[in-house]
């Protein structure tokens, strides 16, 4: 893209446009060591370097304000209860009390057990209190885990790159307004489309991280073991079985008749063949006599 920018700026220089000339000089006169610089193992693009020089900043390499930690907390808990119905009501009340919500719920019932897998979102500052209250009520606690993931580095890096890309978008918009030919306009618009897609992707990632940091996820498995009771299947009476047999027999007869009707061309062909064969046999016998 730098080649394109230089071509556009050079054409504008021929047209004695001082604005384009200044921009070209900014790109051409940048220190050579900028080409080898990287952030988090990823090289800056040339267009990003141009914006960095123009603004006199280092795009996040110098931090003036203290960085706020971004921690994603996740918890897993499973336990057995004596009364599943009452416990489910208690869980929903605790979730509401702590300002959270249930994002998914999967209940299963069998002769042996009734269980429910819930995914709960709780504000991060209320997670510990919620977990302590939740673990205080069950008959038996099977497991309880709380994990924390520090995403501060990723968050700051995305913020810095997003700021840079927005500056690049601004520069491209300015260049687009000065473009003279259709070819130049199409090339700049294509670069704008690419940079805007990258901006949307990074903004989406930031929103996801902010959501995960602000609301912790709790995977909860609650269950109640039931006393197994054999429930025999109720069989049909003799009269019901007779009626069912008559019904099936009648339907079978109807299906047979319908099948014969479908086969009438073949039956007619067979009848003609048999008739011709009988005539042939009679004629042969008459000739022999």
E runs forming strands in 23-139: 38-39, 42-43, 71-80, 101-109, 113-123
Nearest to 144 by CA among 156, 127, 160: 127
pLDDT at residue 201 greater than cutoff 90: yes
Distance of alpha carbon 289 from alpha carbon 286, whole angstroms: 5
- DSSP letter at 15 equals T
Mean pLDDT of the residues in the chain: 77
Distance of alpha carbon 203 from alpha carbon 193, whole angstroms: 15
- Which CATH code of 3.30.70, 2.40.128, 3.30.530, 3.10.100 fits the domain covering 71-149+217-225? 3.30.70
Provide the whole-model pTM.
Answer: 0.52
User: What pLDDT, in 10s, does the model give residues 2-48?
Assistant: 345 534 433 443 443 333 334 334 333 433 333 433 333 444 444 44
User: What pLDDT, in 10s, does the model give residues 210-232?
Assistant: 999 999 999 999 999 988 766 66
Q: What is the pLDDT of residue 276?
A: 87
Which neighbouring-strand residues pair with 121?
A: 101, 217
Distance of alpha carbon 83 from alpha carbon 137, whole angstroms: 11
Q: Calculate what percentage of the chain has a pLDDT beyond 70.
A: 75
User: What pLDDT, in 10s, does the model give residues 202-212?
Assistant: 999 999 999 99
Residue range 109-134: mean pLDDT, rounded: 92
Give the helix/strand (H/E) hosting 266.
helix 264-288
Q: What is the pLDDT of residue 231?
A: 61
Nearest-Å Rg of the Cα atoms of the chain is: 40
User: What pLDDT, in 10s, does the model give residues 36-58?
Assistant: 333 334 444 444 433 433 444 44
Burial of 172 (0-12, 13-18, 19+ CB in 10 A): buried
């Amino acid at each position: 893209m730098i080649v394109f920018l230089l071509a556009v700026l050079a054409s504008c220089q021929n047209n004695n446009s001082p604005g384009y000339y200044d921009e070209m000089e900014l790109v051409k006169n940048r220190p050579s060591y900028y080409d080898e610089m990287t952030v988090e193992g990823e090289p800056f693009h040339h267009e990003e370097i141009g914006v960095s020089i123009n603004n006199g900043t280092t795009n996040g390499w110098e931090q003036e304000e203290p960085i706020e930690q971004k921690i994603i907390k996740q918890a897993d808990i499973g336990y057995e209860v004596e009364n599943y119905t009452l416990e489910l009501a208690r869980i929903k009340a605790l979730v509401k009390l702590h300002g959270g919500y249930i994002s998914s719920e999967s209940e299963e019932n069998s002769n042996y057990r009734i269980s429910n897998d819930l995914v709960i979102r709780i504000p991060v500052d209320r997670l510990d209190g919620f977990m302590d209250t939740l673990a205080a009520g069950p008959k038996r606690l099977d497991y309880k885990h709380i994990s924390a993931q520090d995403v501060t580095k990723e968050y700051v890096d995305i913020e810095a790159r997003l700021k840079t890309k927005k500056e690049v978008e601004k520069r491209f918009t300015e260049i687009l307004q000065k473009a003279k030919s259709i070819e130049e306009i199409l090339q700049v618009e294509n670069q704008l489309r690419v940079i805007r897609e990258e901006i949307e992707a990074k903004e989406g990632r930031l929103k996801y991280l902010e959501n995960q940091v602000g609301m912790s996820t709790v995977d909860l498995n609650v269950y109640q073991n039931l006393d197994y009771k054999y429930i025999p299947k109720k069989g049909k009476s003799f009269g019901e079985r007779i009626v069912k047999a008559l019904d099936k027999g009648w339907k079978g007869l109807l299906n047979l008749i319908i099948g014969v009707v479908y086969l009438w061309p073949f039956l007619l062909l067979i009848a003609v063949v048999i008739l011709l064969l009988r005539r042939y046999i009679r004629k042969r016998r008459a000739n022999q006599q």
